[in-house]
Structure 1
Amino acid sequence: MTPGPKNLITDIPGLLVGNAQDAALKSGTTVLTSANPFIASVHVMGGAPGTRETDLLAPDKSVDRVDAIVLSGGSAFGLDACSGVSDAMRAQGRGFAVGAAVVPIVPGAILFDLLNGGEKAWVENPYRSLGHQAYLSASDQFELGSIGAGTGALAAMQKGGLGSASAVLPNGITVGALAAANPLGSVTTPGDRHFWAAPFEMDSEFGGLGPDPNSGLGQPGPSRKAQAMHPAAPDKANTTIAIVATDAKLSKSQCHRMAVAAHDGIARAIVPAHTPGDGDLVFAVSTGTRPLGGDPMQIGALGHAAAVCLARAIGRAIFEATPQTGDLLPCWSQIHDLS
């Protein structure tokens, strides 16, 4: 497999991503959408998820297509970003028709960034407006790092962020991933130089330093994030939320299987992953424009590609993070100057 032309989830034709953020708030929202509804499912492996409309994405539930998916900062407050997206879509006449009513289907998930130093003493919840702005800005080109849902994200040792990656398989099918990385665990090995995801890196997309040559790396050092948030509860202030997508024609249950497999990408990029204090969650999307073919092994190949893309997206999220006033943690680029 090779990266797509943009190395973004929007290498899948038709998919669009929009971001909105507030620098003072140190938080933001990211929206994945398309001109046409797409099939979607979800799988949760973290112990502390925050979600909206995810029950609807179970394979046995009645609605199999959604209009947009939201990733947002803000903890439970950030779920209101979905309402902002729904408002904008309703104004466009988009959604699930029920008689004369049109209801946009907008699942979402949130990460916790309420203790990252931003101004959180709002009177009116800001996330509805951020969701509205993010949806209206949706494009096939978007930035990575400290933007959208990744604006205020923090990993264990440095700033987190928003990342994306894609891969084109030998049969022409494209797979992509979009991740907002705010994990309890570390994305870098002890010493903070090498990324856990390095074995899966393509074209030096997060520095090209390769895997850590040392062994005995299973016990990361003390978390800077935990120290910066003391005496708050850093074990509850985390989560990596992600979307994997493909243009292969998948059923809802096959999307669910791809979401399950894609969680391997989180475990390859973050140590530890899927903890009780993380809300690790992966949505899976199919635009359905390419036939999958009759080979039953294709589902396994898609799941593997999604996991690889997700690991790479997480690495890129941290690599692309940029410093902002009042940050609790340094960016990876501040720790390691590659110039």
Structure 2
Amino acid sequence: MKNLLTDIAGVRVGHADDAALASGVTAVIFDQPAVATIDVRGGGPGTREGALLDVANTVERIDAIALSGGSAFGLEAGGGVQAWLAEQGRGFVVRGAVIPIVPGAICFDLLNGGNKKWGRFAPYRELGYAAAAAAATDFALGNSGAGLGATTANFKGGLGSASATTPGGITVAALAVVNAVGSVTVGDGPWFWAAPFEIDGEFGGRGLPAAFTPDMLRARLKGGPSATPVENTTLAVVVTDADLTKTQAKRLAVIAQTGFARAIYPVHAPLDGDVLFVAATGEKTIDPLAGLTELGMVAANVVARAIARGVYTAAALPFPGALPAWRDRFG
């Protein structure tokens, strides 16, 4: 176990980013099509193929997920991932046609100091292709891929990942891009809201404060009173090796979203575009009631840990006025 999304067999992750742009793309590639669904809780989401993942709709399995910066421009990243998959002959077969199925979601990083004057066409399709081509079982956290340009209310955001195995033997893992309107830390201190779920000091081992002051509990919002609904998002991908139907995957997504509330304060606001994908590779049978409930409980914990790790591993951007990284303050 590497404490990464790729602890699920048959899952690979690739990044492509541009330091001058201060933005990038992360591709999650499934070696075999995976059952998938989506749960959207934020008030300002940006998604690709989201309707396809509704449990009432026909297609059940996907080939990849594209996560991108760039706000709505970043939705083109899915086309780049799709192009790479098409070259591999991957996709949903309709008679003689093969169509790679690539849902995706974006976060807003257009005001982080990077150069977004890209000309006629945004670079995200090419970044998506490069991210898919780079997919491997090892991948970087923090300022990588879609996490490069991410920020939170008080510290630099980033990309995090975590994994766990349930008492019943099912593995579940999460990847998160943390670009929240709120804060992942308690006040402006070193403590993470997700501290009760931390394993082996994976985000500093600071625990929680001995007491909570009113200042710790006040809202810290990125952009303050001028914040708008399109500026913030936390994106998460949860993958399990359980054998789930699309309806069961949806229930898992609903439970796993609890991890956002365990790690971000406040969360699911009209100022956020919070989106969570669930994919199941179908390797292990699971009890549909108690087993799925237990899996959801652990998945929520893993999501919270991945979010905290995204901030813990991030580095400040090299631009005037950039937010500090957690490590800049607390080492």
Equivalent residue number for residue 241 of structure 1: 235
Does residue 59 of structure 2 align to residue 63 of structure 1? yes
Q: How far is the alpha carbon of 1:9 from its aligned partner?
A: 1.0
Root-mean-square deviation (CA, aligned residues, Å) is: 1.4
3-state secondary structure, aligned to 1:236: coil
3-state secondary structure, aligned to 1:273: coil
Q: What is the rounded CA distance, in whole Å, between the counterparts of 2:210 and 2:84 in structure 1?
A: 50
Q: Map of 1:1-339 to 2, 5 A cutoff? A: 5-123=1-119, 124-216=121-213, 219-220=217-218, 222-223=220-221, 225-226=222-223, 233-292=227-286, 294=287, 296-326=289-319, 328-337=322-331
Moved more, 157-166 or 205-214: 205-214
Q: What is the rounded CA distance, in whole Å, between the counterparts of 2:209 and 2:147 in structure 1?
A: 26
8 Å Cα contact 1:220/1:271 also seen in 2: no
8 Å Cα contact 1:189/1:220 also seen in 2: no
Q: Cα–Cα, structure 1 residues 222 and 92, in superposed 2: closer, same or farther, change >3 Å?
A: closer
8 Å Cα contact 2:193/2:263 also seen in 1: yes
8 Å Cα contact 1:186/1:220 also seen in 2: no
Give the count of matched residue pairs: 328
Matched AA of 2:166: L
Matched AA of 1:179: A
Q: Which runs of 5+ in 1 are unaligned?
A: none
3-state secondary structure, aligned to 1:267: helix
Q: What is the rounded CA distance, in whole Å, between the counterparts of 1:141 and 1:314 in structure 2?
A: 18
Q: What is the rounded CA distance, in whole Å, between the counterparts of 2:42 and 2:219 in structure 1?
A: 22
Q: What is the rounded CA distance, in whole Å, between the counterparts of 2:230 and 2:48 in structure 1?
A: 19
Q: How far is the alpha carbon of 1:154 from its aligned partner?
A: 0.3
Q: Cα–Cα, structure 1 residues 41 and 295, in superposed 2: closer, same or farther, change >3 Å?
A: closer
Q: What is the rounded CA distance, in whole Å, between the counterparts of 1:295 and 1:287 in structure 2?
A: 16
Percentage identity across aligned positions? 50
Matched AA of 1:119: N
Matched AA of 1:220: R
Q: How far is the alpha carbon of 1:100 from its aligned partner?
A: 1.3
| 1:311-334 superposed Cα distances (whole Å, 9 cap, x missing partner) | 000000000002331162010000
Q: Normalized against structure 2, the TM-score is what?
A: 0.96
Q: What is the rounded CA distance, in whole Å, between the counterparts of 2:227 and 2:184 in structure 1?
A: 20
Q: How far is the alpha carbon of 1:215 from its aligned partner?
A: 2.2
Q: What is the rounded CA distance, in whole Å, between the counterparts of 2:68 and 2:189 in structure 1?
A: 26
8 Å Cα contact 2:227/2:271 also seen in 1: no
| 1:47-89 superposed Cα distances (whole Å, 9 cap, x missing partner) | 0000010101111110000000111101000000000011111
Matched AA of 2:31: A
Q: Which runs of 5+ in 2 are unaligned?
A: none
Q: How far is the alpha carbon of 1:191 from its aligned partner?
A: 2.8
Q: Normalized against structure 1, the TM-score is what?
A: 0.94
3-state secondary structure, aligned to 1:48: coil
Q: What is the rounded CA distance, in whole Å, between the counterparts of 2:220 and 2:228 in structure 1?
A: 12
Q: How far is the alpha carbon of 1:234 from its aligned partner?
A: 4.8
Q: How far is the alpha carbon of 1:236 from its aligned partner?
A: 3.4
Q: Cα–Cα, structure 1 residues 222 and 287, in superposed 2: closer, same or farther, change >3 Å?
A: closer
8 Å Cα contact 1:151/1:161 also seen in 2: yes
Matched AA of 1:282: L
8 Å Cα contact 2:27/2:135 also seen in 1: yes
